[in-house]
């Protein structure tokens, strides 16, 4: 998306605020990107409406492009929708033994997620956890959970053949109470599709144990289907939270946005692999970035806003327009680059530029060059900085020594300064500078 937006805004000139046209053009791209990320149409439409309202007329920070500005607004709004108004509350697992019911379709990742969650509760929260499989449909389902239990060191309810799910659930409740467990997780059977038998079974279990949390486990790659499943389960038994699995795949995470926007249910965790550690807390920030499919452009925008003092920048521009560019000006520019993370930092934040940054690193154009150049300027006197023409051999020797560097490096710096000053002079005269600055930023 950021590439797209970048393209759109390359053609635009800079103005004081985002115009309606700017925003409209950008929003078409945003909408397409959301749909590509598997966000449902009504959700995408609604989202675009909200962002349009926020972006139109928003002041453009001088140091960043309108495109970057819009990306930031879109990103922030995505984050807000994903986090929900009230944020993500902690799991209700006080009052032991607290039952957690895991529901969802077959193959969504329920059994795996049950074990991952048990491990997490045990290791991070220091809870004593019991797991029970209520899946009497698939022959090996109960063994699957028992094996995972052994693997992660969490107890599972002993398997008794021929029991109905609701009876197993009751047995788990009793056992959790007697055994002094803090939490017990009930892994239910799933079907390939939602049907009455499945729903009745889940409803029965729900009524029998009154779970503190009913977590819906859905495949995050199924997009719209995941949202429909969530609505069905919520209508029948009441869902308190969602776990999106397979977020390690190449899906773009759009299901998360639809899920939150349509159902209003908090997404609590995301599954990021088959291993028992691959369960992460849901982080709106990260998913927002993923939906936008960008490098770290938002971070770049934030940094630019932080660093650039608009007035200082204006003052500098005026000097440049007059063709003035002394060592103090150069120092200001170098420092600016340094604050933004140096060459590598700057490039690394732009999508697709990582490779180039590495090459530059090899060529010796790394961060430390900025430091050395600034050190050289710092060891000049005030007069020398204002008028670098003063620098003859003896002064050069003194300056290089003061910075702990070679004269050759100082010569390079002076050459760079001359070139830049020349450029400023030429461009300042022809009114080119303004255009160039607009193009660069
Ligand atoms: P259930 O039928 O809902 O109980 O689903 P399972 O827990 O048996 O999982 C079905 C398959 O999905 C298994 O092969 C799991 O290893 C796999 N799986 C579950 N969660 C994830 C995940 O977050 N990422 C990936 N890549 N695979 C997962
Ligand atoms: Mg299962």
pLDDT at position 420, please? 81
Distance from residue 84's CA to the centre of ligand 2 (Å): 30
Nearest CA to ligand 1 atom 2: 107
Closest ligand to Cα 274: 1
- In the numeric block, the tokens 């759109």 are attached to 8
Instruction: Find the 274 Cα to ligand 1 centroid distance in Å.
Output: 6
220 lines ligand 1 (CB under 6 A): no
Highest mean pLDDT among 61-75, 237-251, 344-358, 390-404: 390-404
ipTM of this predicted structure: 0.99
Alpha-carbon distance values, 419 to 378, 389, 409, 426 (Å): 20, 14, 16, 11
Q: Is the pLDDT of residue 439 over 90?
A: no
Q: What's residue 320's pLDDT? A: 74
The predicted pLDDT at position 352 comes to 45
The answer to whether residue 311 scores a pLDDT higher than 60 is: no
Per-residue pLDDT, 165: 95
- Nearest ligand to the CA of 245 is 1
Segment 253-295, tens digit of pLDDT: 788 888 888 889 999 999 999 999 999 998 888 888 777 765 4
Instruction: Supply the residue whose CA is at minimum distance from atom 19 of ligand 1.
Output: 109
Q: Which residues contact 81 (CB under 8 A, 6 or more apart)?
A: 47, 257, 260, 261
Residue that the structure tokens 């486990």 belong to: 217
Q: What is the pLDDT of residue 303?
A: 56
What pLDDT is attached to residue 307?
A: 55
User: Which pTM does this prediction carry?
Assistant: 0.67
Which ligand 1 atom sits nearest the alpha carbon of residue 135?
Answer: 4
Q: Is 274 in the pocket of ligand 1 (CB under 6 A)?
A: yes
Q: Which residue has the higher pLDDT, 82 or 66?
A: 82
* Cα–Cα distance measured from residue 133 to residue 114, given in angstroms and rounded to the nearest whole number: 9
187 within 8 A of 199, measured Cβ to Cβ: no
Structural domains of the chain, ranges and CATH numbers in brackets: 2-87 (1.20.120.140), 98-281 (3.40.50.300), 309-440 (1.10.260.30)
pLDDT of residue 30: 80
Q: What is the average per-residue pLDDT within 290-308?
A: 58
One DSSP character per residue, 201-232 reads HHHHHHHHH--SEEEEEEEGGGTHHHHHHHHH
User: Of the ranges 75-79, 246-250, 264-268, 413-417, which one carries the lowest mean pLDDT score?
Assistant: 246-250
Q: Which residue has the higher pLDDT, 129 or 280?
A: 129
| pLDDT reported for residue 22 | 72
Selection from 15-29, 363-377, 388-402 with the highest mean pLDDT: 388-402
- Three-state DSSP at 100 gives strand
**How is 348-398 classified by DSSP, letter by letter?**
HHSTT-HHHHHHHHHTT-SHHHHHHHHHHHHTS-HHHHH-GGG--HHHHHH
The protein residue with its alpha carbon nearest to ligand 1, atom 9, reads 109
Is the minimum distance from the CB of 109 to ligand 1 under 6 angstroms?
yes
pLDDT at 4 exceeding the cut of 60: no
pLDDT in tens, 135-171: 998 879 999 999 999 999 999 999 998 999 999 999 9
9, 220, 257, 430 from 31: Cα distances, Å:
16, 20, 13, 41
The better pLDDT of the pair 237, 9 is held by 237
Q: How confident is the model at residue 300 (pLDDT cuts 50, 70, 90)?
A: low
Q: What is the distance between the alpha carbons of residues 80 and 117, in angstroms, rounded to a whole number? A: 26
> Does the beta carbon of 114 lie inside 6 Å of ligand 1?
no
Ligand 1 atom index nearest CA of 138? 2
217 Cα: distance to centroid of ligand 2 (angstroms): 11
Q: Give the contacts of 422 (CB within 8 A, at least 6 positions apart).
A: none
Q: Ligand 1, residues 110, 274, 278: which to mutate, most atoms within 8 A of Cβ?
A: 274
194 has pLDDT over 70: yes
Which residue among 104, 106, 109 has the greatest number of ligand 1 atoms within 8 angstroms of its CB, and so is best to mutate?
Answer: 109
- Of the candidates 100, 103, 276, 280, which has an alpha carbon nearest to the alpha carbon of residue 181? 100
CB 399 within 8 A of CB 327: no
Q: Is 104 in the pocket of ligand 1 (CB under 6 A)?
A: yes
CA–CA distance, 367 with 441 (Å, rounded to integer): 21
Calpha distance 121→39 (Å, rounded): 31
């Amino acid at each position: 998306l950021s590439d797209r937006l970048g393209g759109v805004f390359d053609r635009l000139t800079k103005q004081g605020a985002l115009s309606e046209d700017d925003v409209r053009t950008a929003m078409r791209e945003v909408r397409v990107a959301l749909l590509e990320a598997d966000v449902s149409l009504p959700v995408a439409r609604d989202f675009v409406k909200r962002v349009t309202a926020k972006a139109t007329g928003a002041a453009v920070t001088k140091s960043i492009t309108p495109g970057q500005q819009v990306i930031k607004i879109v990103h922030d709004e995505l984050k807000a929708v994903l986090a929900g108004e009230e944020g993500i509350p902690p799991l209700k697992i006080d009052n032991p033994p607290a039952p957690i019911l895991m529901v969802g379709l077959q193959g969504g990742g329920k059994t795996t997620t049950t074990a991952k969650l048990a491990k997490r509760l045990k290791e991070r929260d220091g809870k004593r956890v019991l797991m029970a499989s209520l899946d009497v449909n698939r022959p090996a389902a109960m063994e699957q959970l028992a094996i995972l239990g052994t693997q992660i060191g969490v107890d599972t309810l002993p398997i008794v053949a021929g029991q109905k799910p609701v009876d197993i659930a009751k047995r788990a409740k009793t056992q959790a109470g007697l055994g002094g467990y803090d939490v017990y997780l009930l892994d239910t059977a799933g079907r390939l599709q939602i049907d009455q038998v499945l729903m009745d079974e889940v409803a029965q279990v729900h009524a029998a144990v009154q779970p503190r949390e009913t977590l819906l486990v859905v495949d995050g790659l199924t997009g719209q289907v995941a949202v429909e499943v969530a609505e069905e389960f919520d209508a029948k038994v009441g869902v308190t939270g969602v776990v999106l699995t397979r977020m390690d795949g190449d899906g773009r995470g759009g299901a998360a946005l639809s899920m939150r926007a349509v159902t209003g249910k908090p997404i609590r965790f995301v599954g990021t692999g088959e291993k028992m550690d691959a369960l992460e807390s849901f982080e709106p920030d990260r998913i927002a970035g993923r939906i936008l499919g960008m490098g770290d452009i938002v971070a770049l925008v934030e940094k630019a806003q932080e660093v650039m003092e608009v007035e200082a920048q204006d003052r500098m521009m005026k000097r440049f327009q007059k063709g003035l560019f002394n060592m103090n000006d150069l120092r200001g520019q170098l420092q600016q680059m340094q604050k933004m993370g140096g060459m590598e930092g700057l490039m690394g934040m732009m999508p697709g530029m990582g490779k180039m940054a590495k090459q530059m690193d090899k060529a010796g154009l790394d961060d430390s060059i900025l430091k050395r150049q600034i050190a050289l300027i710092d060891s000049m006197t005030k007069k020398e900085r204002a008028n670098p023409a003063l620098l003859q051999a003896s002064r050069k020797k003194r300056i290089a020594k003061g910075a702990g560097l070679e004269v050759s490096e100082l010569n390079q710096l002076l050459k760079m300064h001359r070139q830049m000053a020349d450029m400023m002079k030429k461009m300042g005269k022809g009114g080119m500078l303004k255009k160039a600055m607009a193009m660069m930023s």
